[in-house]
Amino acid sequence: MTIWDDLRKLLSGPTLFRLDTVLAARLVPIFYFLGLVAVGLWAVDHLFASFAYNFGQGLWGILEIIVYGPLWLLALRIICEVLLVFFKAHEASATAVGRTRGGNSLIDDVGEAIHDLASDDDDHPASATDAAPFASQPAVRRTAKRTPVLKT
86-96 per-position pLDDT tens digit: 988 887 777 66
The DSSP secondary-structure symbol of 132 reads G
Comparing CA positions, the residue from 90, 50, 82 lying closest to residue 66 is: 50
Q: What's the chain's length in residues?
A: 152
Where do the domains of the chain lie?
A: 21-97
Provide the percentage of residues in the chain whose pLDDT is more than 70: 61
Element containing residue 70 per DSSP (H, E): helix 55-89
CA distance 133 to 58: 76
Per the prediction, the chain carries an average pLDDT of: 76
CA distance 129 to 121: 16
103-144 per-position pLDDT tens digit: 566 677 677 777 777 776 555 555 555 555 555 555 556 555
45-85 per-position pLDDT tens digit: 999 999 988 898 889 999 999 999 999 999 999 999 999 99
Comparing CA positions, the residue from 141, 91, 136 lying closest to residue 119 is: 141
Residue 26 or residue 139, greater confidence: 26
DSSP string, 80-123: HHHHHHHHHHTHHHHHHHHHHS-S--HHHHHHHHHHHHHHHHHH
